[in-house]
Structure 1
Amino acid sequence: MIKKYILICLCLLYIVGCEKHETTKFKLSKENCDNNWAICMILPDKKIEITKTQPVKIAVLDSGIEQNIPQIKKHIKNTYNAIDRTSETKPFFPHGTMIASILTNTQIKNTKIGITENINLYDVQVLDEHGKAILLIL
């Protein structure tokens, strides 16, 4: 399931870059892959092309995103709790936060995790404390 989310996000990032923009290209080294194996798994040719565009807008529909991580928080533009229909999300599980850290260019210790700094996140909590969603809400 996570691979589908990552693939969708990468496709969206690629599609947004269809106009002429400043582009930076680089190839990941073995050390990069040792430090961040997830990126190397989804980019088997180890090549990254970064295009400067308007920020990509992505809604993370999950268990909520932890708001106390500054590297992620700066990208969150709005929150919505579909369970109680408020703007306050309460992440019960770390999954939404992990997805957000993959999308944003977060650094943990000496390891960069993530795809881009050029992103606006919308935190939409659709899973309750049991990890369940009510389909009528969605």
Structure 2
Amino acid sequence: MRKLLMIVLVLLMGCTDKNTHLDLTDIECKTNWALCSVFSDKSYQYSFEKKIKIAIVDSGINGDHPELTGLIRKSYNAINPGQKILDSYGHGTAIAGMISAKPNEYIIQGISQSVYLYDVKVLNDKGGGEIEDVVDGIEWSINNNVDIINLSFGFQKDNQALREAILKATTHGIIIVAAAGNNLGLYTDYPAKYEEVISISSISENLKVDPFAGKGKVDYVAPGVKIPILTNGEDKVRYVNGTSFSTAIATGIIANILEQSEKPLSLTDIKEKLNKTSIDLGEKGKDTTYGNGLIQLPNNN
């Protein structure tokens, strides 16, 4: 039954029609609860009339992964410019899969199917990184006119150079989505803490905040507990927790909103749309734990 369902999905996604309709089944929702929690009607129609350019500023992406082939438009190694990108850490590949993986037998359907990925390596093989490399990666993303920058990590302390790079990107109309952090609810990481950045924290399947997730300046929450991800191995899947992954889901939702729109959308426009559809959690109205609530993408049929 599972294989049959996936064949139907693959056939749908392989259609040459301008519009492709995605329907998520109960089995898929059970296997990957995150998908169905953010699609308001368990379905979505991709127009493919335009591609949204997403810079994944992270540990790199394994572009040879079968579920990601053909999605990477450009790459930049900020740590070792000119050298080929290898994602030994696996984090960037997982983030890329959550955003845009093709339909596959592992039920790790990417949130958005109308994207080009811009692979920007700023984290090393242990997941660490220098602010200078992150700033360089953001500058490269600006120069390549991306639509969204996904930052599924953060720093505890503010940094002037980072702030200036973020402001420059937003001045160019780029939407920046960043992780609130996994810091036991003590604070929100930078750059998510900046007002110009959409800050994402994480929740579990029972719609409760992850105890490890950041609190404070939180704009929205998205699924981030027991989330299936693609690994560097073609036939391996594992389950993970963290605001890194909820951030990727939010980025995919925002990419779909941009794809739907016939005109460019500002940060204010995006937030207005998200505020209308998000599910309020916790205290009534915006709060420091759930922000404006569980991010949603309305059915566009």
**TM-score normalised according to structure 1 size:** 0.69
Q: Give the superposition deviation at 1:43.
A: 2.6
Counterparts of 1:29 and 1:89, CA distance in 2? 36
Matching residue of 2:292: none
Name 2:76's counterpart in structure 1: 80
Counterpart amino acid of residue 48 in structure 1: Y
Higher relative contact order (CA 8 A, sep 6+): 1
3-state SS of paired residue (2:67)? helix
Q: 1:37 to 1:118 in 2, by over 3 A?
A: same
- Contact 2:21 2:44 (8 Å CA) reproduced: yes
**Greater strand share, structure number:** 1
Cα drift, residue 87 of structure 1: 5.0
State the Cα RMSD in Å.
2.4
How far off its partner does 1:47 sit? 4.2
Post-superposition shift, 1:63? Answer: 0.6
Structure 1 position 98, deviation (Å): 1.1
Whole-Å separation in 2 of the counterparts to 1:27 and 1:71: 19
Paired residue secondary structure (1:33): helix
Higher CA-based Rg: 2
**Aligned equivalent of 2:65, options 65, 69, 87:** 69
Note if contact 2:56-2:92 (Cα within 8 Å) is conserved in structure 1: yes
Contact 2:98 2:108 (C-alpha < 8 Å) held by counterparts? no
Residue 33 (str. 1) matches residue 26 (str. 2) = no
Write the letter of the residue equivalent to 2:80.
Answer: D
The alignment partner of 1:58 has SS state of strand
> Residue 73 of structure 1 aligns to a residue in which SS?
coil
Residue segments in structure 2 that go unaligned for 5+ positions in a row: 1-17, 136-301
Partner of 1:113, secondary structure, is coil
Q: Counterpart in 2 of 1:5?
A: none
Whether contact under 8 Å (1:105, 1:117) holds in the other structure is yes
Compared CA separation, residues 28 and 130, structure 1 to 2 (3 A): closer
Q: Does structure 2 conserve the Cα–Cα contact (< 8 Å) formed by 1:61 and 1:125?
A: yes
Deviations 1:99-130 (A, max 9, x none): 11122242332635112332111110010123
- What is the CA–CA distance in structure 1 between the aligned matches of 2:132 and 2:108, rounded to whole Å? 38
Amino acid at match of 1:86: G
**Residue of structure 1 aligned with 2:112, choices 107, 113, 116:** 116
CA distance in 1, matches of 2:106, 2:128: 35
Count how many residue pairs are aligned between Structure 1 and Structure 2. Answer: 117
- Which residue number in structure 2 is paired with residue 53 of structure 1? 49
SS of 1:99's partner is helix
Gaps of 5+ in 1: 1-21
Moved more, 29-38 or 75-84: 29-38
Name the CA distance, whole Å, in 1 between partners of 2:101 and 2:28: 14
The whole-number CA distance in structure 2 between the counterparts of 1:70 and 1:108 is 9
1:79–1:124: 8 Å Cα contact kept in structure 2?
A: yes
The TM-score normalised by the length of structure 2 is: 0.35
